[in-house]
Structure 1
Amino acid sequence: MRATVRILKYALLALFLSGSASVARAADAGFTSFIASLWPEAQRAGVSRKTFDEATRGLEPDYKLPDLLLPGRPATGAPSQAEFVQVPTDYVKEASIIRLAGEGQRLLLKHRATLTAIEQRFGVPATIILAIWGRETDYGRHALPYDGIRVLATQAYVGRRKDQYRGEFIAALKLIESGDVTRKDLRVSWGGATGFTQFLPSELGKHGVDFDGDGRVDIWKSIPDALASAAQQLTNKGWQRGLRWAYEVRAPANADCTMGVPEVTRPIGEWIRAGFIPVRGEKLSAAEQAQPASLLQPEGIYGPAFLTTKNYFVIKEYNFSDLYVLFVGHLSDRIANSQPFATPWSASNQLRSTDVEAMQRHLTRLGLYADKMDGKAGMKTRAALGAYQKSAGLKVDCWPSETVLRAMNAR
């Protein structure tokens, strides 16, 4: 009897594996057909048949990538989507900042001539450019793990943002066609960003700079090209010369944290008169006080508060994450001087991303939130939570907590 059961199990397993293999072969045949269908678009973009064939010959999809929508399988989440909401103290880790700031100071001296020339040409401080390089690839120490063409083709075929990655795939072929990078050297992150300073291929096409004058835009091996390209991208997105990214302030006890959204913008002097005082007794000039700024409280009423300028949002165009901008901005400041934030992070309790997403859905139903359901406690989510806390008679701290979750569930 046991032998019969064992034989039946093996037969079922063989059948399952055979079926899985058939599905995989069918999917891969569909992938091959999809890649072939991209040739006319690549040709119109100026890619030669030789480049297209050499880049795609034997190409197979990578179904282990995150952020894919595979038929018959659960959606794969992005690795940045942690199980728990990432609090600032976990992202802007002091140990990482100290290490990267020390290395940044060394590189500031080593590449002073190049960085000075970049700053003079583009108006972006050397420390900001170094901070981006440090955050993106640990100053080039982090080896990008994926085959660029394979990643972009897979994301274009079964990713969540197919149209975007279709364009990135064509843009990558154009980089190979132009001789800026070889097929072998086009290594990327899982999301398709490449080079020392992590550009998507289309962004490199728009903002790349041949700063070392060798006739190629090489952000994979040329430090001048990579850093100048990052500066050019910031400039093209609106960077204002001579303007800081943010000012750390101490918020007054009666501050309304629901004002912490980009839409609420006031001159810095007006914020100061309302009690948002620059830390460490810093005195701002009349020109600085005239600059418009928004309030940022990354942990709600807890932890540091900032008045963010237009340049804050320009860095956010490089990577659409408030924690990313905080990391880059603070690392830039620490390369210039060694002072940490004046107000420490509060080490806020973490909620699961699924709980924050449930909050976002509830807030949407109430008409308080109209942004992405991403399970992240971003600016708009925090402001909407504060508005809900006001209406529910709860403590207004603009932070996702068990108390808020229980109140929502009870209703």
Structure 2
Amino acid sequence: PALSEIEKKSGVPATTMLAIWGRETDYGRYTLPYDLVRVLATQAYVGRRKDTYRNEFILSLKILGEGVVTRKDMRSSWAGATGLTQFLPSEYYKHGVDFDGDGRIDIWHSVPDALASAAQQLVNKGWQSGVRWAYEVQAPAKVDCTSGVPEVTKPIGQWLREGFVPVRGEKLSAAEQAQPASLLQPEGIYGPSFLTTKNYFVIKEYNFSDLYVLFVGHLGDRMTSPLPFATQWAASKQLRTKDVETMQRGLTRVGLYKDKIDGKAGMQTRAALGAYQKSAGLKVDCWPSEEVLRSIQAAR
């Protein structure tokens, strides 16, 4: 009943809330390993975002001072996220909801409070009710994988006219086809392809990892339809983080990449790799391979 009421009030599907809860703490079965206050103090002192974490540290003390949770129960991840659905203290104050009506926002023990707070965070970040997070599609054989960035957005109907086909013969309504979407190919041209809606990027604001959003979106879908992705992952070899960082520096040097050097082959990195492959006369697959790494290193 609580899930249904949260969905009714927020417009966020119950399956999405459950998927976030499952991903974050295994539906509350996973005990977070660290003491939140110590984590935030450490991050504020030696971390890369000291000012941000000083504020989070102060807010964690405010939470303790209000008596909602004991320090013993205020466990966290290495990055300072706490509670059943993993909030930073600032997010607790921005998005927390007392859904069970006991006068406290308790995301550590109250499942209704935690799930309603997760839904409220998505709403506050722009969740659009009635819009799916993504559509899996078969990409055309000559797909330009460099267009797989958030800045390239077209109505889903236009993507379909360009040769993208919904998997398993799914027919999309006129309203769905009017929805703006971006192309996502997390394994370059080799694995599944998706047309991602605004809600994809709302979940991504909850956690910036594309794989996190794919996990949450897909788990939520499988709660109502147990089908896996229609296109299997190709099990492409993944380069080490430091090798991807080398690629990113090389792509930055030649003006193709302007994002952060983090060793993660995200949307912007894959698109920049594809642009480099075009310029170097290599196969354009938007995937960080050893061949591309050697080419970038030789081009210094």
Q: With the length of structure 2 as denominator, give the TM-score of the two structures.
A: 0.99
Correspondences of 1:148-163 after superposition (within 5 Å): 148-163=36-51
Q: 2:52 aligns with which of 164, 185, 196?
A: 164
Q: Distance in 2 between matches of 1:200 and 1:324?
A: 17
Partner of 1:387 in structure 2?
Answer: 275
Structure 1 position 148, deviation (Å): 1.0
**1:364-405: CA deviations, max 9, x gaps?**
000000001011100000000000000000000000001101
Q: Which residue of 1 aligns with 2:248?
A: 360
Partner of 2:110: 222
Indicate conservation of the 8 Å contact 1:257/1:383, yes or no: yes
Structure 1 Cα separation of the partners of residues 214 and 59 of structure 2 = 30
Q: What SS does the corresponding residue of 2:223 show, helix, strand or coil? A: helix
1:178 paired to 2:66: yes
Flag as ranges the 4+ runs of structure 1 deviating above 2 A.
none
Task: Give yes or no for contact 1:144–1:188 (8 Å, CA) kept in 2.
Answer: yes
Report deviation, 1:129. 0.2
Contact 1:116 1:126 survives alignment (8 Å):
yes
Amino acid in the other structure paired with 2:151: E
> Deviation digits for residues 278-307 of structure 1, max 9, x if unmatched?
000000000000000000000000110000
Question: Structure 1 residue 180: deviation in Å?
Answer: 1.8
Cross-structure match for 1:348: 236
Correspondence 1:296-315 to 2 at 5 A: 296-315=184-203
The yes-or-no answer on 1:120 pairing with 2:11 is: no
Q: Which residue of 2 aligns with 1:130?
A: 18
Secondary structure of the corresponding residue to residue 129 of structure 2: coil
Amino acid in the other structure paired with 2:294: R
Secondary structure of the residue that 2:236 maps to in structure 1?
A: coil
Identity of aligned residues (%): 78
The alignment status of 1:316 with 2:186, answered yes or no, reads: no
Amino acid at match of 2:164: F
* Pairing partner for 2:175 from 284, 287, 298: 287
Any stretches of 5+ residues in structure 2 without a counterpart? Answer: none
- CA deviation digits over 1:7-40, x for unaligned, max 9? xxxxxxxxxxxxxxxxxxxxxxxxxxxxxxxxxx
Secondary structure in structure 1 of the residue aligned to 2:182: strand
1:166 is aligned with what amino acid? R
Question: Any gaps of 5 or more consecutive residues in structure 1?
Answer: 1-112
Contact 1:156 1:166 in 2 (8 A): yes
Is the CA contact 1:179–1:216 (under 8 Å) kept in the aligned structure 2? no
CA distance in 2, matches of 1:307, 1:192: 32
Partner of 2:150: 262
- For the aligned residue pairs, the C-alpha RMSD in angstroms reads 0.7
- 2:124 maps to which residue? 236
Question: How does 1:206-221 map onto structure 2 within 5 Å?
Answer: 206-221=94-109
Normalized per residue, the structure richer in helix is 1
1:408 Cα deviation from its structure 2 partner: 1.4
Of the candidates 128, 135, 138, which is equivalent to residue 247 of structure 1?
A: 135
Counterparts of 1:294 and 1:300, CA distance in 2:
14
Deviation at 1:410, TM superposition (A): 2.1
SS of structure 2 residue aligned to 1:336: coil
Aligned equivalents of 1:131, 1:352: Cα separation in 2: 29
Structure 2 counterpart of 1:132, one-letter code: I
Paired residues in the alignment total 299
Which structure has the larger Rg over C-alpha atoms? 1
Q: Report what 2:265 is aligned to.
A: 377
Find 1:142's aligned residue among 6, 27, 30: 30
For the 8 Å contact 2:250–2:297, the answer to whether it is kept is: no
State the shift of 1:179 in Å: 2.1
Partner letter of residue 147 of structure 1?
A: D
